[in-house]
Structure 1
């Protein structure tokens, strides 16, 4: 490899790392004593969150306001007004210092967020009739919250929130179809800033009580070195198979999803290792980056930790979090299985082999070297699934176990190497505090997304709910299929400029009730969980949707491939995931709704995997050989029969309780397609199979 190639690769890695840092909350890097201000505030925030999860008992409204206050303060200390100098003035874009103006604005923003806690008794008595001070503090909070969201997330969410605010006031002057009675300033401010129906609503509560702890747990795993361990483990297990580095990237990204809720951070953690390895065994740069994009994006789908939106789903649907895990399990794992299948298809197309055993780490040695990382993860799973503790208690218990491991892992290594223990203990303490600061930084975007999206939720709660359902019903002509397509496209478009959590909150508030209601108009029962997961899935898929998908830009920077082409290729891989929400809306078996038998659940999962394999073959143009045009619709029929046995059984007149017998039809057709394509298998595939 030439020096020029190495330099270009290093530059790509640096670009990807900067993107990950921006998403994770690393903005300014001031010199001197101010460099300690942001980390100290971040550590204090983490300690507060750990306190309310263990010994500190205060009102939930106070928790939400303090949580938002910390987030706003960190934003104004950490993010400049502009990313680049404007009009030749660099004061408002400074990253090497914290301007006094931002110090002042940060304190004002934090106080405005804390106002509901500082004057809680007074606000309760004045609800509906706020005094001038209440209105001023409320207006300051709304304005500074939207500006903070713009600095962290970008302009899309603040613009959407402002449009909804304008709609709340100017609704009476709108065309008849979208006319709204409107609200007064007193009612608007009361709803948004003096109650738990707006900014301080359920999304912010979930962010403050549950999501923070899971993000902190992930940050601690990351600082301890678990991310590198997961990818080494995946390589040792899968690297030797056909197209092995791509399969290792998928497994590594799925495991790293436990560490990071960020697609970009996931790509930087795993893609740094896997993308060069994929290119080494013969994957083109665009496809290598696209595999990493698809795997990292779908990391948010995999139970048991599915990002902030999954916890909000549990609150909105009013079910225990374990029910969300159960509902998401079959679609998520079927999606990952299909991505493994796609990488196998790509390797078959290109005639690739795996890496030699000499190039791979030893499996058992690698597994044992990081067993201590698995202990807190297994404990978290035990607490969530077996004991069924609350998510916040499960995460807190996993955190203190993780803290003990971080404190002891360096001294144990030092003892085994006969090195001094003092510096090793010091490094463990530094790692813990670094993780506390990093966890808080990572939470800033989630806290602001949930708070700003709360403005939209609050406007909808002012009386827009039925109107929105009526508008959607009119646009779709009462057709549930068209309505789902409109919802999916809207989610993808909105998600281009919003983080996953905000996209889900906005779309779920606007469309989830409408999906259920319009389904009822069509004499079709849609479980509320299905509707919310539909919005959740397409919010995640927006992460790699061209032309904005930042995940594709990060992976392309590492692979030195065109970003748009990478995004398009990644989206083509993710079509296998996009089909699943449409299927589980009409076949609630896929989310295990009213399915309580392990045997039934496993059967549904296996058939969903084969159905997704057939769909992947149709969209990728390959099964065991290149598809002929007339084979594509047959693959789609296999997909339909394996994912919608209820539909096939009704067409054939088979009783609903015997619908699973139709799986045999789909598998028989799939087998027939294999026999038809087998004579056309490329020679190198046959040789590889024999070898």
Structure 2
């Protein structure tokens, strides 16, 4: 557990909290509990105006961040908050209660700010920036500051970036006294959908679902060729439903799966890569995707969360199928076995606990019935408590319920900071018209060519993702880059999912690949090599977004069930051919030209279009037939291998 925590703190800023004790520890514990109780009350009864709800949500998050997250890493081991952190925490409380106390007065003045308004507003901006630096990281704070400077120095900007500029009063007013800044859509989503689903995840952990995912994965996939790698894929896909962090997913499930893979003979870098790629894909996995998916509901408008989860289903299936296939071919290539009967858990005992998955099924059913996301999350929390009562080992008592409430609130702190900081960026973009300017600029740079625009957007998302959490990354790219894709006639949902995907897989894309680096910390492998292997395994994530933009059939947009079935079959066959080409093995080792043909056939099959499907099917069947007829390794290659 200590090693896991060290890795989390090293690669995930969200885990770098103090271990408070004494009075300060009790204050934080009660504060986190009160935060969850307030959010549940607000969600159930929905009695608070938007500004009051978001202001209190922000006040809770900021005040607790300053007590829990130290200003510098070297003071993390202190078991009490510094005096200046206590002052900042009190200031955050003041910011949080300002709107509830002064709302009638603020509204009656119709946008006219007093000197007290200005002082509170600028304090709020500074507190958000510092809290984000502590809880999320320096990059997103730096980006937000650059946007603020852009807003202020507008007249001095070059070319199409120039605008009339905002003075300090206008900036403060936009940031804290409108719904376009800090108290805007990103924080609104944090205070509603995201918080409740993080709370749901905390309750699932208390019921033992996390460990059950591992047991279920071993029972299903453990005995197959290269079993532990497939266990990692299956387990991490499930873990994604309760963890919004790629790094946290890697460390928790990887501490179990990576040693198993190494024991059976997988290289350290490959073992770490499998876990990193699978854990990162957890945020792409419906029904409960990464926090940014909830933002998508608000940013696109006119669609439900179920529409997004349904659209993401086939791409997620292809993502994990691709990783599964490539690990299978790698295991065959180096001759790895599955787990023995002695290493396997009792399948009957595992299946007896299948009821633990009922809360997740509850979410799916309720969303399918078009229940609101908030109500679905609330009922799912209730179902988790009820289901836990079926077994005395998982039964939740008052203490475990309180702990779940505290853990859920703790997890939500960094999300609240990230979304508040992202609100600064959205506010600047909205006020200055920067989004449309950059979108037009991106289209012009790409000479109005869709593929080139997609490529530039991908690079932008990957660069931002090096230091920004997925939520903040999505806010920036959906505000700046997604409009460029939409301008070229791409459906909104496809454009937003495109930037969402690349924001997530930045976690396994070198040179800064935090999930891969965390996996290397568990496996003992070389970080950059682990990142390269992760990117290779997750090749589907680099291909599929282009495919569903070019052919939205993959997202089940305006298509038929027959077409969807055909798309899924050909795409899975395509991932098989691409996997064989990337690994260099199918029924036997492939020659270099066979690998090229395999990759080409796979791309043709993944792209859902008539002619490409026909060419891909012909190439696929041809390769399959040749492999099947000539399963045995060529003698010359065997001799070379022996030498």
| Range into which the TM-score falls when normalised by the shorter chain | over 0.9
Shift of 1:338: 1.1
Cross-structure match for 1:418: none
1:461 CA displacement: 0.3
Q: How does 1:634-649 map to 2 (within 5 A)?
A: 634-646=597-609, 649=611
**3-state DSSP of counterpart to 2:44:** coil
CA deviation map 1:448-504 (0-9, x unaligned): 111101111111101223211222123223222112111111111110101111111
Aligned equivalents of 2:195 and 2:145: distance in 1? 27
Distance 2:6 2:173 in 1: 44
Q: Could you tell me how far apart the structure 1 residues matched to 2:4 and 2:177 are?
A: 46
Structure 1 residue aligned with 2:271, among 288, 298, 302?
288
Q: Which residue of 2 aligns with 1:416?
A: none
Q: Give the whole-Å Cα distance in 1 for the aligned partners of 2:512 and 2:600.
A: 33
Match of residue 341 from structure 2: 357
Structure 1 partner of 2:638: none
Aligned to 2:38: 48
Q: How does 1:484-633 map to 2 (within 5 A)?
A: 484-517=454-487, 519=488, 525-595=489-559, 597-633=560-596
Conservation of the 8 A alpha-carbon contact between 1:17 and 1:268: yes
Q: Is the 8 A contact 1:245 1:274 kept in 2?
A: yes
| Structure 2 Cα separation of the partners of residues 163 and 14 of structure 1 | 33
Stretches of structure 2 lacking an aligned partner (at least 5 in a row):
635-643
Residue 166 of structure 2: SS of its match in structure 1?
coil
Q: Give 1:331's aligned residue.
A: 315
Equivalent pair of 1:27/1:95 in contact (CA under 8 Å): no
- Range moving further from structure 2, 532-541 or 62-71: 62-71
User: 1:306–1:459: structure 2 CA closer, same or farther, 3 Å change rule?
Assistant: same
**Number of residues paired by the alignment?**
632
Q: 1:108 aligns with which of 68, 91, 94?
A: 91
Q: String of CA shifts for 1:228-270, please: whole Å, max 9, x gaps.
A: 1111111011100100111111111111111211112212221
CA distance in 1, matches of 2:24, 2:173: 37
Task: Determine which of 441, 445, 448 is the counterpart of 1:471.
Answer: 441
Q: Is residue 554–residue 608 contact of structure 2 (8 Å, CA) maintained in 1?
A: no
Name the counterpart of 1:15: 6
Q: CA deviation at 1:17?
A: 5.1
**Could you say which residue in structure 2 is the equivalent of 1:453?**
422
Q: Which runs of 5+ in 1 are unaligned?
A: 1-9, 86-92, 414-423, 520-524, 650-661, 685-691
Bigger Cα displacement from structure 2, 211-220 vs 615-624: 615-624
Q: Residue deviations 1:161-195, cap 9 Å, x none? A: 01011111112112224222212333222221101
Query: 1-side partners of 2:571 and 2:184: how far apart?
Result: 37
Counterpart-to-counterpart distance in 1, 2:37 and 2:169: 36
Structure 1 SS opposite 2:585:
coil
Residue number in structure 2 paired with 1:404: 386
Distance 1:357 1:683, change over 3 A: farther
CA positional deviation for 1:128: 4.0
Partner of 2:133: 150
Q: Is the 8 A contact 1:614 1:639 kept in 2?
A: yes
* Shift in Å, 1:680: 5.4
Q: Secondary structure at the match of 1:84?
A: helix
TM-fit CA distance, 1:24: 4.9
Using a 3 Å threshold, how does the CA distance of structure 1 residues 224 and 19 change in structure 2: closer, same or farther?
Answer: farther
CA distance in structure 1 between the aligned counterparts of 2:278 and 2:20, rounded to whole angstroms: 35
Cα deviation digits, residues 97-138 of structure 1 (max 9, x gap):
112321121120232244233322222343443222211111
2:357 pairs, out of 371, 374, 393, with 374
Q: Identify if the C-alpha distance between structure 1 residues 674 and 234 changes in structure 2 by more than 3 Å, giving closer, same or farther.
A: same
SS of 2:73's equivalent in the other structure is coil
In 1: Cα distance, 2:307 partner to 2:381 partner: 23
Verify the 8 A CA contact 1:116 1:193 in the aligned structure 2: no
Select which of 226, 231, 234 maps to 1:248. Answer: 231
Within a 5 Å distance, the mapping from 1:23-102 to structure 2 comes to 23-25=13-15, 27-84=17-74, 95-102=78-85
Distance 2:231 2:598 in 1: 27
Q: How has the CA–CA distance of structure 1 residues 188 and 234 changed in structure 2, closer, same or farther, with 3 Å as cutoff?
A: same
Greater shift after overlay, 494-503 or 476-485? Answer: 476-485
Most deviating of 48-57 and 490-499: 48-57
State the Cα deviation string for residues 396-418 of structure 1 (Å, max 9, x = none): 01112222344x366x35xxxxx
Residue number in structure 1 paired with 2:639: none
> What corresponds to 1:198 in structure 2?
181
Measure the CA separation in 2 of the matches of 1:197 and 1:14.
37
Q: CA deviation at 1:83?
A: 0.9
8 Å CA contact retained: 2:19, 2:77 = no
* TM value normalised by structure 2: 0.94
1:262 aligns with 2:245: yes
| Residues 1:322 and 2:306 are matched in the alignment | yes
Question: Among 625, 631, 636, which residue is 1:675 paired with?
Answer: 625
Aligned equivalents of 2:343 and 2:436: distance in 1?
61
Describe the superposition over 1:289-316 as per-residue Cα deviations: whole angstroms up to 9, x where unpaired.
1100000000000101002111111111
Whether contact under 8 Å (1:157, 1:498) holds in the other structure is yes
Q: Give, in whole Å, the separation in 2 of the partners of 1:581 and 1:17.
A: 29
Per the alignment, residue 657 of structure 1 pairs with none
